[in-house]
């Protein structure tokens, strides 16, 4: 029964998220749109800080290694393996993933004890990796003859390329008759290969695939009674915070819309651990949430306040796990703007200021010809000053949107958020 529920869960999540997020620079109908969307939403490949995917960008060895681990279903974890590589250290962002891969024999380093994390990875190298981690042997190397550039395949990888083609875990775009084996792999091509691999995990050797995911139960958050749901699906591998849940975050630094532009980063943090009612840790304290300004309407005359919308990008735990987040600000239809109380305070300040100035002016003018006209000056100057101040408060530009460090914000998830167990 548990296996059935796990399979059903994975199917529903995959079906619902395939086309959910592809990056701001991936247009409708892009040749790898489906695969990119699946990889982004499954946490295999991350978007960049500006929300782009950059499909033509070449992939580094360290990046592909991390992508491959995620595609195979390995959660981020701290490594206890001794580091034998001379070109990485514990400060490297890919350190744990490289050591994890090395301990598994997934992607090897070089004889000189280097991993060369920043070197580009070629399509031939990827074919070799796919062949290495999958079952069986190549059946017929002649499958390469269908490609017009098959003679350019290096001798050391011909059998491996043939095996990846037999498994249909390869990419041959834009020309279906060419493999371009010596080309550096780009991010769109990586998405296609890893999407195919993830859907053929039964072809991967057992030592490279973690245990099957099983649903352990449903637990609940207690953050906001306005949430459409408070359910969290707990599996043996991750916690899945269902869409409709509301999370509370805090601004990581001060924000001022008048000093911001569209595309500017807006960062948040979870100050405290987030537990379910049942006691399961879902999001650890000091997890960060990165976002950026999607739209910004500056404050305008006639007391029109600034309006800001924020797009959330990804969540990063203290251990470095990075997952894509889709959500919206709960209040005011997702628009960040100065509160009505602050707006009234600004108008009141102008009114009070006008009243003081008007009273002073009225008294001054009335007292010049005759000091005994003091009361008359107040009677005339006060209402005039109030009127002028009120009008000024209503016609001058409105307020910028400002937030101080640690100010809180409530976010409703518009897609499920999966956070893998960390060890």
Give 316-354 pLDDT, tens digit per residue: 999 888 888 999 999 888 999 876 555 444 434 444 444
Q: What is the pLDDT of residue 62?
A: 96
User: Reduced to 3 states, what is the DSSP secondary structure of residue 348?
Assistant: helix
> In terms of Cα–Cα distance, which of 27, 58, 52, 56 is closest to 40?
52
Mean pLDDT of 233-246: 94
What is the b/e burial string over 6-20, where b = at least 16 CB atoms within 10 angstroms of the residue's CB?
beebeeebeeebbee
Q: What is the pLDDT of residue 22?
A: 77
Mean pLDDT (the chain) is 84
Q: Give the confidence band of 10 by pLDDT, cuts at 50, 70, 90.
A: very low
What is the tens place of the pLDDT at every residue in 82-112? 899 999 998 898 999 999 999 999 998 999 9
User: Reduced to 3 states, what is the DSSP secondary structure of residue 272?
Assistant: coil
Q: What is the pLDDT of residue 340?
A: 54
**Residue 213 clears pLDDT 90, i.e. is over it:** no
Q: Give the confidence band of 12 by pLDDT, cuts at 50, 70, 90.
A: very low
What lies within 8 Å, CB to CB, of 340 at 6+ separation is none
Looking from the CA of 145 toward its CB, the CA atoms found within 13 Å total 4
Q: Of 1-15, 36-50, 126-140, 242-256, which gets the smallest average pLDDT? A: 1-15
Q: Give the confidence band of 6 by pLDDT, cuts at 50, 70, 90.
A: very low
Mean pLDDT of 157-185: 95
Q: What is the pLDDT of residue 317?
A: 92
Q: Look up the pTM and report it.
A: 0.55
Mean pLDDT of 380-395: 46
Q: What is the pLDDT of residue 324?
A: 87
What is the b/e burial string over 288-327, where b = at least 16 CB atoms within 10 angstroms of the residue's CB?
bbbbbbbebebbeeebebbbbbbbbbbbbbeebbbbbbbb
Q: What is the pLDDT of residue 151?
A: 96
245-337+401-420 classified as CATH 2.40.30.10: no
Q: What is the pLDDT of residue 202?
A: 92
Q: What is the pLDDT of residue 115?
A: 96
Other CB atoms within 10 A of residue 1 CB: 7
Q: What is the pLDDT of residue 137?
A: 82
């Amino acid at each position: 029964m548990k296996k059935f529920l796990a399979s059903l869960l994975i199917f529903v999540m995959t079906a619902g998220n395939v086309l959910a997020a592809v990056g701001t620079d991936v247009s409708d109908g892009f040749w790898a749109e489906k695969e990119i969307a699946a990889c982004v939403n499954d946490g295999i490949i991350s978007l960049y800080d500006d929300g782009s995917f950059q499909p033509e960008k070449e992939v580094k060895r360290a990046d592909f290694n991390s992508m491959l681990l995620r595609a195979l279903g390995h959660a981020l974890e701290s490594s206890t393996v001794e580091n034998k590589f001379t070109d990485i250290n514990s400060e490297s962002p890919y350190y744990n993933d490289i050591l994890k891969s090395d301990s598994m024999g997934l992607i090897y380093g070089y004889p000189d004890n280097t991993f060369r994390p920043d070197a580009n990875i070629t399509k031939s190298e990827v074919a070799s990796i796919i062949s290495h981690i999958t079952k069986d042997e190549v059946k017929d190397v002649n499958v390469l003859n269908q490609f017009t550039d098959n003679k350019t395949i290096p001798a050391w990888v011909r059998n491996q390329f043939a095996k990846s083609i037999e498994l249909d875990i390869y990419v041959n775009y834009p020309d279906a008759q060419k493999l371009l084996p010596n080309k550096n792999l780009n991010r769109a091509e990586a998405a296609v290969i890893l999407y195919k691999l993830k859907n053929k995990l039964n072809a991967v050797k057992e030592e490279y695939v973690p245990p099957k995911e099983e649903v352990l139960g449903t637990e609940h958050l207690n953050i906001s009674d306005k949430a459409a749901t408070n359910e969290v699906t707990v599996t043996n591998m991750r916690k899945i915070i269902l869409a409709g849940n509301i999370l509370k975050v805090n601004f990581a630094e001060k924000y001022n819309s008048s000093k911001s532009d569209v595309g500017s980063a807006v960062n948040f943090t979870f100050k405290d651990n987030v537990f379910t009612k049942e006691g399961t840790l879902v999001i650890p304290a000091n997890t960060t949430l990165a976002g950026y300004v999607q739209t910004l309407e500056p404050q305008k005359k006639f007391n029109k306040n600034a309006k800001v919308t924020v797009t959330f990008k990804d969540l990063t735990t203290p251990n470095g796990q990075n997952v894509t987040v889709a959500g919206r600000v709960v209040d005011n239809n997702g628009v960040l703007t100065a509160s009505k109380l602050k707006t009234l305070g600004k108008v009141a300040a102008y009114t009070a200021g006008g009243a003081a100035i008007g009273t002073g002016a009225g008294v001054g003018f009335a007292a010049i010809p005759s000091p005994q006209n003091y009361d008359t000056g107040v009677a005339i100057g006060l209402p005039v000053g109030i009127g002028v101040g009120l009008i000024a408060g209503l016609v001058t530009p409105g307020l910028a949107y400002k937030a101080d460090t640690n100010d809180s914000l409530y976010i409703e998830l518009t897609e499920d958020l999966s956070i893998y167990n960390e060890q």
